[in-house]
Amino acid sequence: MCSISAQIVTVGSCMRDMTSFTGRLPKAGETVQGRRFQMGFGGKGANQCVAAAKLGASTALVAKLGDDSHGRSYVDELRAHGVSVGHVSFTGDSHTGIASILVDDDGRNCIVVMSGANALLSPGDVSKAGETIARCSVLVCQGEIPAETNLAALSLAKRHGVRTVFNCAPVTPDLPPELFSLSDVFCVNETEAETILGVGVSDVDEATIGAKLLLERGCGVAIVTLGDKGAVFASKESPDGVLVPCPVVRAVDTTGAGDAFVGSMCYFLAVHPLLSMETAIRRSCHVASVSVQKPGTHGSFPFRRDLSPELFLS
């Protein structure tokens, strides 16, 4: 067991992204001509970890990769961004996770994920990273790894007074209710909120209701992101919900926008802990709006030097 000093620890997924760009997304049964193809690095866990690292946070990732060329190249990618990889392990029992992505001219996307090695990330892997998690400021988890692994990580963090963030994406039908009480911040987009709550969440008013309903399930803060409309959050201090708008930009590719938002929010919570939640969300919306103006995931996330110094004032 090794201990790594990191402000933010991510327990989550790594995916190799296979992205095809096309004029419009195909209908069921339809073939369309693509315009461009690129391979990249994705997976919500790694994306959020890299997004926070590019803003200047010290980060560590707990993840599992296939013992293949994709996995080995992924470790090189993480190291290049300064992410600590001491808790990233390899398995010969499955392939590195793969995401097949289609992106249209408006930046809209659809994604099919093959979990591969991510499905083998276990509570035992979390235990091996226990000292690192216990010493960090913020732990973040997502829905692309087994629920029992998320529960183990969030529980361990809570026992040590670490601030916890759970990005419930994608949503699984058997979502353990304990995930709410273990999450200081519970974040979903409008589609994920609909799946969890069983009610429509298609506009700001419905998202506000949704955030309040999620808050009632036991989390400290509930956030519903709304794409270019920004995000709505509800908390004990703001139980009626607050809309935080997003800057208006021309989107090129929205694939990593949610991860840019969550990763940057973890940065602000860890590095600037005295900021109000509304301010942290507003700044995270700004970072996400910058990311959608470039294609891809890791390459679209801005470095601190690319952003206004005002974003980093305490």
Q: Is residue 226 within 8 Å of 204, Cβ to Cβ?
A: yes
Single-letter amino acid code for the residue at 125: D
Tokens 């808050």 map to which residue?
A: 215
Q: Is residue 132 within 8 Å of 152, Cβ to Cβ?
A: no
**Distances from the Cα of 112 to the Cα of 40, 69, 99, angstroms:** 15, 21, 6
Tokens 């096309």 map to which residue?
A: 22
Which residues are catalytically annotated? 259
3 state DSSP class of 84: strand
Distance CA 154, CA 11 (A): 9
Which secondary structure element, helix H or strand E, spans residue 60, and what is its range? strand 59-66
Alpha helices (H) in 177-309, listed in sequence order: 178-181, 190-197, 204-215, 257-271, 277-291
Contacts of 91 (CB under 8 A, 6+ apart): 64, 65, 66, 67, 117, 120
| Nearest Cα to Cα of residue 167 among 308, 51, 74, 34 | 51
Contacts of 86 (CB under 8 A, 6+ apart): 2, 4, 60, 132
